[in-house]
């Protein structure tokens, strides 16, 4: 393991750009830490922390100048791998018929800088759903296959985080988390994990990043950076900081057989009680790094000579999401919330061999009325009389 100084981070961004990557990382915009293209490490959120809670998110100024000691913002890497809206094809009349043109442009080669353990697990969940099923999504595959990942071990979790209880953090795992943690999603054939992983420290030795390569190309990039060997106690200090983060999670998912709990509480009154608070706004599904549902819409221009098919994110909280030949199936908020939670934590296991939740806490922070899935599951576990595992 080697140590990268603050200037080494600048060089990391430069080297990735020189290698043709479009570098995406956290930056401050609109009073939040968002993910955007970076052309310099100086755009990282140095000196910003995040105060987060149910229905709350606020930036605060950190005295230590750290860049990665802040929990998940409203966005996730999903928006780059599985965009919120994209054109699939267009069609133009050409006299007797029409010509269809697929939107097949070469995707950018992304380098993701600052991927936490929970978010790497979320990418693995998307890999399983979109890239490793019977009908892989070729667009997702092409975006995903060239990606360079710089992971960051989390040392400062937020009040809404519960990655430990989902087996996905706070350390960035080179291996898939154990199935008992709710995941069980294996590495993709083209990307076993991360290329580099950083642990940020600000101490008497200054502001630095303990760095390790996780792949051959990660090692090649690391060889181009100004580093020094880790000094006495630096590796242990970083491990201690990550271990401390594991005990500082604001929440935990109950350790129970959640698929069984959700099946047993299908008719619970709790769903109506949640629905009395839920606005069915779909925020939780939009911010969730693993919610993958989409729908398509066709549009034509006013002449009728040109048509386009677009794909955009959809949500099981939308009324027409469950529309089938003549009507919606899930007309109540209670049935829609139940669908979301039951799929995420229950039937996702049957469908994809693991949980659909990685414990990032976004859905708690960005729910306008502060509905907390860990609290709702706690109540359902109690109602089901399930013994904690
Ligand atoms: S369900 Fe909530 S906590 Fe779980 S992965 Fe989605 S946004 Fe994160
Ligand atoms: S749980 Fe919260 S974020 Fe999700 S749909 Fe209901 S009100 Fe919106």
Q: What is the pLDDT of residues 41-89, one digit of tens each?
A: 999 999 999 999 999 999 999 999 999 999 889 999 999 999 999 999 9
Whether ligand 1 lies within 6 angstroms of the CB of 363 is answered as yes
Whether ligand 1 lies within 6 angstroms of the CB of 344 is answered as yes
Residue 132 CB neighbour total at 10 angstroms? 16
Whether ligand 1 lies within 6 angstroms of the CB of 288 is answered as yes
Residue 162 vs residues 73, 251, 254, 357: alpha-carbon distances, Å: 15, 5, 10, 10
Ligand 2 center to 276 CA (angstroms): 11
* Ligand nearest to the backbone CA of 158: 1
**From 288, 317, 339, 343, mutation site for ligand 2 pocket: most ligand atoms within 8 A of C-beta:** 317
Residue 336 vs residues 84, 105, 209, 320, 328: alpha-carbon distances, Å: 21, 36, 44, 11, 11
pLDDT at position 178: 41
Q: Residue 260 in 3-state DSSP?
A: helix
Ligand 1 center to 286 CA (angstroms): 10
Q: How many angstroms separate the CA atoms of 111 and 324, rounded? A: 40
Does the pLDDT of residue 284 top 70, yes or no? yes
> In 136-193, which residue ranges form alpha helices assigned H by DSSP?
138-145, 163-166
Atom of ligand 1 nearest to the CA of 160: 3
Does the pLDDT of residue 217 top 50, yes or no? yes
Q: What percent of the chain has pLDDT over 70?
A: 95
Whether ligand 2 lies within 6 angstroms of the CB of 279 is answered as yes
Atom of ligand 1 nearest to the CA of 362: 7
Whether ligand 2 lies within 6 angstroms of the CB of 262 is answered as no
Whether ligand 1 lies within 6 angstroms of the CB of 359 is answered as yes
Whether ligand 1 lies within 6 angstroms of the CB of 253 is answered as no
Whether ligand 2 lies within 6 angstroms of the CB of 275 is answered as no
Residue 23 · residue 38 · CB < 8 Å? yes
pLDDT band at residue 106 using 50, 70 and 90 as cut-offs: confident
Residue 346 vs residues 90, 140, 167, 316, 341: alpha-carbon distances, Å: 38, 25, 16, 15, 8
Ligand 2 center to 178 CA (angstroms): 29
pLDDT band at residue 254 using 50, 70 and 90 as cut-offs: very high
Whether ligand 1 lies within 6 angstroms of the CB of 362 is answered as yes
pLDDT at position 193: 87
Q: What is the mean pLDDT of residues 132-143?
A: 92
**From 361, 366, 367, 374, mutation site for ligand 1 pocket: most ligand atoms within 8 A of C-beta:** 361
Rg over alpha carbons for the chain, rounded to the nearest Å, is: 22
Q: How many angstroms separate the CA atoms of 115 and 242, rounded? A: 15
Does the pLDDT of residue 190 top 50, yes or no? no
Q: How many angstroms separate the CA atoms of 291 and 356, rounded? A: 8
Give the pairing type, strands 148-152 and 110-115.
parallel
Q: How many angstroms separate the CA atoms of 331 and 323, rounded? A: 9
Ligand 2 center to 6 CA (angstroms): 40
Q: How many angstroms separate the CA atoms of 242 and 172, rounded? A: 10
Whether ligand 1 lies within 6 angstroms of the CB of 50 is answered as no
Please report the sign of the dihedral spanned by the C-alpha atoms of residue 60, residue 65, residue 67, residue 71.
negative
Whether ligand 2 lies within 6 angstroms of the CB of 367 is answered as yes
Q: How many angstroms separate the CA atoms of 173 and 191, rounded? A: 13
Q: What is the mean pLDDT of residues 97-123?
A: 93
Residue 264 · residue 384 · CB < 8 Å? yes
Q: How many angstroms separate the CA atoms of 16 and 256, rounded? A: 43
- In sequence order, the β-bridge partners of residue 2 are 211, 229
Residue 388 · residue 255 · CB < 8 Å? yes
pLDDT at position 104: 75
When the pLDDT of each residue in the chain is averaged and rounded to a whole number, the result is: 92
Q: Map tokens 């794909």 to a residue.
A: 311
Ligand 2 center to 366 CA (angstroms): 8
pLDDT band at residue 3 using 50, 70 and 90 as cut-offs: very high
């Amino acid at each position: 393991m080697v140590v990268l100084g603050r200037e080494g981070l600048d060089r990391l961004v430069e080297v990735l750009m020189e290698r043709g990557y479009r570098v995406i990382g956290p930056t401050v915009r609109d009073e939040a830490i968002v993910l955007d293209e970076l052309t310099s490490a100086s755009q990282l959120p140095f000196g910003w922390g995040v105060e987060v809670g149910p229905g709350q998110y606020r930036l605060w100024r950190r005295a230590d100048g750290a860049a990665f000691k802040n929990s998940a913002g409203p966005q996730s890497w999903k928006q780059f791998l599985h965009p919120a809206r994209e054109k699939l094809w267009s069609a133009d009349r050409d006299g007797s018929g029409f010509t269809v043109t697929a939107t097949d442009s070469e995707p950018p080669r992304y380098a993701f800088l600052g991927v936490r353990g929970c978010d790497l697990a979320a990418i693995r969940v998307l890999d399983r759903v979109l890239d490793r099923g019977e009908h892989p999504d070729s667009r997702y595959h092409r975006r995903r296959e060239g990606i360079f990942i710089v992971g960051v071990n989390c040392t400062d979790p937020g009040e809404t985080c519960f990655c430990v209880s989902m087996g996905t953090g706070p350390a960035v795992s080179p291996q898939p988390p154990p199935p008992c943690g709710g995941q069980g999603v294996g590495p993709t054939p083209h990307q076993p994990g991360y290329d580099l992983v950083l642990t940020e420290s600000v101490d008497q030795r200054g502001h630095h990043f303990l760095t390790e390569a996780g792949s051959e190309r990660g090692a090649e990039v690391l060889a181009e950076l100004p580093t020094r060997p880790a000094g006495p106690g630096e590796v242990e200090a970083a491990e201690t900081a990550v271990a401390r983060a594991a005990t500082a999670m604001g929440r935990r998912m109950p350790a129970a057989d959640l698929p069984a709990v959700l099946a047993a509480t299908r008719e619970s009154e709790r769903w109506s009680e949640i629905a009395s608070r839920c606005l069915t706004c779909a925020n939780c599904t939009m911010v969730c790094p693993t919610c993958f549902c989409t729908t398509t819409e066709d549009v034509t221009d006013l002449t009728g000579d040109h048509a386009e098919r677009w794909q955009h994110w959809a949500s099981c909280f939308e009324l027409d999401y469950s529309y089938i030949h003549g009507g919606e199936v899930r007309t109540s908020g209670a049935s829609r919330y139940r669908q979301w939670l039951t799929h995420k934590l229950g039937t996702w296991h049957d469908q994809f061999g693991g949980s659909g939740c990685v414990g990032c806490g976004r859905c708690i922070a960005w729910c306008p009325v502060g509905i907390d899935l860990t609290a709702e599951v706690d109540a359902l576990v109690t109602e089901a009389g399930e013994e904690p595992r």
